[in-house]
A and B are shown apart, each in its own frame.
Chain A
């Protein structure tokens, strides 16, 4: 796996986790979306699909799918609510409430049609204004939004089924050995995680072809709201030092991470993961990434 692919995979994994699970009717569905700049360098984007409303908060760079090598840190708040083409309404508990109606502006724009589609062959984008009440306050008011309207769009359908014309059904597995894809280079990785009840945290660091890819993923369910936090840093290999015996490693990735974590494996098999390593998410600065609650593993090889 190339480094860029690794990044793409991770970011796609985040999107997959936060995005609502697609339903069989997704080809007929739609997604509504609007955004606001909310001060302190943050942007807020609201996504609505099915019966799920998601608020993502981060810097414009963190929320952008472009430049996957850029450091990023974002927090997403997810709640159930009412989503129609004309209305989005959901309570985010202590974080606020969204109740807006969509007023379209101009005509819907049909994006270029695809070929060989089953069902719809193009996406449609309808611009407009979401009008009503948008009230959101993050933890300790790191963002506070009270807005009566926001510009946005409604995309439909959610997906197209347009396989390439040359696509063929998968062939049966062959008897002769096939070289596995994605191995043949040296790498090191550290994985630490903890989980209890409806909260969990994951930290991953991997050195590959001259770069260290560090990501942290934290999720928690708070009553009727789920919170997802994600951070990513790409850096030079020196930030992740691992001995050849895989008994000791230090990790000190750059922002949005802070401090250093130390992994040590004793001869009796016990492992420790200590230090000052933390990460700053929107609304959760210096979130600790070391300690006894983490299960940790260090690995390496071809």
Chain B
């Protein structure tokens, strides 16, 4: 993915982050007014997108973020308190497996396994630079067609942001160019309102509604969908999924940090709009943006958003609060 993808950031980095955002703004042609609602893509465009994404093009897609230096693993004992949000939980479609604890972003043995096929790659064009990519998760929804990802994989963020709407597709269970469940063209995208209006990383959550694959299947009918929850306490234990591209990874395999606990909130999230975000120990790199964080029973409860300079082992994700719930609701109602 590009610009504000899963990216390194320094703590004094508001200026740095601003530069990243600008690069996205200049790279994209379509600029909508602040607070504009969801973007509906023409049906024909969605269909051609699925044909456009050949294996070769998928392999060319790169995250365009700053690379992270290697850092030793450091443990940290965080604390957490209830958030005061009303908890909402929607159940998943398929059954889940038991995970073993690991903060290494390990390759999963079989991305087509029942509980892993919901995770995939979002590919999109970034004219004139080439092809970008993010990670995403199929979520159980009334229309069986919702993918949850990071907001910056959908919209570059802030009042002058831009939609990343160029020929996007979702490929669940992607592996070495294989598309075992086909390609699902994106036909509707949206983010939290706070991500669009303020660009606050606390609200960096996005959603896409995809069309049918080449076999005419709806996404959740083909691969299932995770449950989703918002308003829960921050202190959860997460399975972090994603398709990291930057070293030491190559983007060709699905990765998993299993049973990694909440460690605390990023200091910068205290002074930004939206609920305090979440930190976990997981060595993700660029391309893992938007990858799902699931809790017990395979419930989606966050997505990968960013990392910081000097600490390649910590992954930050947005807290799923009311705004995340509203976004999911809007996406699930799209016919």
Contact = CB atoms under 8 A, between A and B. Distances in A.
A135 B265 CA distance: 24
B78 A223 contact: yes
B319 to A, nearest CB: 12
Nearest to A222: B79
Contacts of B137: none
Contacts of A227: 267
B281 to A, nearest CB: 7
A295 B71 CA distance: 10
Tell me whether chain B's interface is mostly helix, strand or loop, or mixed.
loop
Contacts, number: 102
A195 B310 contact: yes
Interface residues of B, number: 35
B263 A202 contact: no
A198 B310 contact: no
Interface residues on A, range: 20 to 34
Mostly, the A contact residues are strand
B232 interface: no
A220 B271 contact: no
B159 interface: yes
B12 A198 contact: no
B228 to A, nearest CB: 24
Contact of A16 (B14, B272, B310): B14
Interface stretch (A19-27, A169-177, A238-246): A19-27
Given A24-B198, A52-B270, A197-B311, A221 B14 contact: no
B270 A78 contact: yes
Interface of B: 11-12, 14, 34, 69, 71, 74, 76, 78-81, 159, 197-198, 200, 263-268, 270-273, 276, 279, 281, 308-311, 313-314
Given A17-B11, A21-B200, 20 more contacts: A17-B271, A23-B197, A24-B159, A24-B197, A24-B198, A193-B310, A196-B71, A196-B74, A196-B313, A197-B76, A197-B78, A198-B263, A198-B264, A198-B265, A198-B267, A200-B308, A223-B78, A223-B80, A224-B265, A228-B267
Interface of A: 13, 16-21, 23-24, 50, 52, 78-80, 193-200, 202, 217, 219-224, 226-228, 295
30 contacts: A13-B12, A21-B272, A23-B198, A23-B273, A24-B34, A24-B197, A50-B273, A78-B271, A193-B310, A194-B310, A195-B308, A195-B311, A196-B313, A197-B78, A197-B279, A197-B281, A197-B313, A198-B76, A198-B314, A200-B267, A202-B11, A202-B12, A219-B267, A221-B78, A221-B266, A221-B267, A223-B78, A223-B80, A224-B81, A227-B267
